[in-house]
Amino acid sequence: MRVAIDTQPGGAAPNEDWVAGTPTLAIVLDGLSTAGLDTGCRHGVPWYVTQLGSQLVAALANPSASLSEGLADALEQVAALHSECDLNNPGTPSATVAILRQREAFFDHLVLADSPIVLEGHGGFSVLTDLRVDDVLPDLRAEVEQHETHTPEHKKALRRFVTAQRQTRNTPTGYWVAASRPDAAEHALVGSTPAEDVHSAAVLSDGTSRLVTEYSMATWHEVFTMLRTGGPRELINTVRKVEATDPTGRRWPRYKSGDDASVAFCQW
């Protein structure tokens, strides 16, 4: 498997995405925004995704470990790295997880929250994602989307939304992300696809996939054409050009003008 990767921050703030590729593995992590709220951790989201990504690569170097087992082990290892922090804080640094691994004649996948894996097959494209977060607090989400980005009203609404969202994170009535508890791995969506059924694949953060899913400014066929001709950088640049036409979120309401964007494009 050949993996081409790229990641770019959405603005002036540090990038909270993380991406990696090996001959058998592609991983994208998307750190959850804190909206300026306390996390109980002195390290921050960029540190967290870097540590989690590194531990995932190490854990999954063992081909006998399942993706869920590897994620649980990585979460436990990262928690041990900052045990002096308040890991019970509902805003403790956390991230979405998307993993694709080549195993003999199969491709295994794991998704936890809304960073998708898109498989290009004989009959078209299959999107593997976990959208449970979309069912949480729809009224507060709609309130955020009423305001243009960069306005005081938008900031206040976003803080209210994130504050409430944290109370549902990693609970049976909410949604699941990678944070401090290894048991979150048990709630990831996992599966396998025969290698003969897949031509190529893209592992994405939602800052990239929104070109199709939210902006409707490209099809998956067009996305994969971009990836083949210009690589991940061209795809991310296209997202930025589209967002530049709507900097305040009038046409496409969103949490920020530009989100961190990451791509791992897999070919074989």
Angle of helix 67-81 relative to helix 45-59, nearest 10 degrees, comes to 130
Q: How far is CA 68 from CA 10, 28, 64, 74, 115, in A?
A: 29, 15, 12, 10, 16
Quickly state the pLDDT bin for 6 (edges 50, 70, 90): very high
Q: To 10 degrees, the CA torsion angle through 71, 74, 75, 79?
A: 180
Task: Give the pLDDT confidence score for residue 87 in this predicted structure.
Answer: 97
Task: Give the pLDDT confidence score for residue 179 in this predicted structure.
Answer: 98
**What phi and psi values does residue 39 have, to the nearest 5 degrees?**
-115, -10
Q: What digits encode the pLDDT tens for the residues 91-147?
A: 999 999 999 999 989 999 999 999 999 999 998 999 999 999 999 999 999 999 999
Q: What digits encode the pLDDT tens for the residues 214-230?
A: 999 999 999 999 999 99
Rounded to two decimals, what is the model's pTM? 0.97
Q: Determine the distance from the C-alpha atom of residue 202 to the mean position of all C-alpha atoms in its chain, rounded to a whole number.
A: 12
Buried b (16+ CB within 10 A) or exposed e, 12-44: eeebbbbbbbeebbbbbbbbbbbbeeebebeee
Query: Quick one: residue 231, left, alpha or beta (phi over 0 = left, psi -120 to 50 = alpha)?
Result: left
State the chain's mean pLDDT as an integer.
97
**Residue 102 is encoded by which pair of tokens?**
């080549």
Quickly state the pLDDT bin for 16 (edges 50, 70, 90): very high
Task: Give the pLDDT confidence score for residue 101 in this predicted structure.
Answer: 98
Average of pLDDT values for 6-30? 97
Q: How far is CA 25 from CA 69, 82, 229, in A?
A: 15, 26, 22
What topology is assigned to 2-267 in CATH? Phosphatase 2c; domain 1 (3.60.40)
Task: Give the pLDDT confidence score for residue 74 in this predicted structure.
Answer: 98
**Percent of the chain scoring above 70 in pLDDT:** 100
Q: What digits encode the pLDDT tens for the residues 82-102?
A: 999 999 999 999 999 999 999
